[in-house]
Amino acid sequence: MDFSNVKKKIECCEFFRRGEKYIAKLNQNLANLFNYMSKLFCAFEHKYRLGIFLQSSKSSKGTKMQLNSQTQKITTQIGCAACSYETALGFDFTMAFQPIVDLDNNEIFAQEALVRGLGRQSAGEIISKINNENLYKFDQMCRVKAVRLASKLNVKSHLSINFLPNAVYRPENCLRTTIKAANENNFPLEKIIFEITEVEKVSDNSHLKNIVTEYQRQSFKTAIDDFGAGYSGLNLLSVFQPDYLKLDMELTRAINTNPVKQSIVKGILHVARDLGIAIIAEGIETKDELDTLREFGINLFQGYYFAKPAFESLAEISPDVFPLANQTETFDLENEMLCVG
């Protein structure tokens, strides 16, 4: 028997085995490099987008004080729209949750995640620590914290998170953190709602449309928050159609005594129904406000009348609230008459 040939075959097999190991390791290194470059690219693009946003806001407001005020108004409701890039901020924060109720079905429809300090500090105090350098990291950490805490609290309803479109460049890449957090915490993607605040100035509507389209493609829901607070609402609707419109509290506050607000809300309802968009009424504080909006056919509500934000917990809603779901009066928008069923 020619042992030299056997030895050569063994050496040949060992060579290919080692080669396969080297190739596998090389592929893994290339994958890691690609992932790192993707994160780095997204980080640079985020800063670029943020610079455009701040510059456009400054030119439209005219003064630094007004710019800071506008930026704070936007970021106090900030959710997260950043890439998979988790780094320490130098401080920590947590979330409070405020329920959105569905009075047609006697249930909690969603929980909105709101930023709070570990010592129950307001969102404004936390936002005061945010600057251009750490806003990116703060955004993405908000998302992860909201999903993790909602899962820990056993939230079975939707989870609503605010975010800044200007912080997103490539939505398909910047969703990775959210998807990873949702998968790790067994939170369904289709139960996450991303709220776009209308008060944020978005100069590139086509970019915003791409974000919403990608989010919806990935099974997420979308909403325009503070609808009616600015002048861009109807223009945004012509560009893209979210799943929900959240009426700004300036429209719902004391609506029971304001015919002008009633006419505006009825007009919004007409448009929303034609486009298949659901309405959420924010800032409800009195039963009179609620009764008026119920007459218009709205069933989703949020506000102090139902519950204040609960720190790292879920607020309890009075059992007196849900019997209102049995109310069958609706407002016929076509004939402008009250119908009792």
pLDDT digits (tens, 9 = 90+) for 123-173: 889 878 877 777 778 878 888 999 999 999 999 999 999 886 655 656 776
Calculate helix-pair angle for 135-152, 3-61, nearest 10 degrees: 110
Closest listed residue to residue 311, CA positions, set 162, 119, 101: 119
Longest dimension (CA), the chain: 105
The verdict on domain 31-340 having CATH code 1.10.630.10 is no
3-state secondary structure of 154: coil
Provide the token pair at 203: 């100069």
Q: Which single residue is written with the structure tokens 């010592």?
A: 119
Q: In this structure, are residues 40 and 154 in contact, taking their beta carbons and an 8 Å threshold?
A: no
How much is the average pLDDT of 104-124?
A: 93
Measured in degrees and rounded to the nearest 5, phi and psi for residue 235 equal -65, -40
Q: Are strands 300-301 and 278-281 parallel, antiparallel or unpaired?
A: parallel
pLDDT at 229: 75
Residue 109 has pLDDT above 70, yes or no: yes
CA angle 92, 221, 224 (to 5 degrees): 80
pLDDT of residue 228: 84
pLDDT higher at 13 or 328: 13
- Residue 251 identity (one-letter amino acid): L
Residues 50-107 have pLDDT tens digits of 454 444 444 444 433 343 444 444 333 443 433 334 445 778 999 999 999 999 998 9
Q: Residue 124 in 3-state DSSP? A: helix
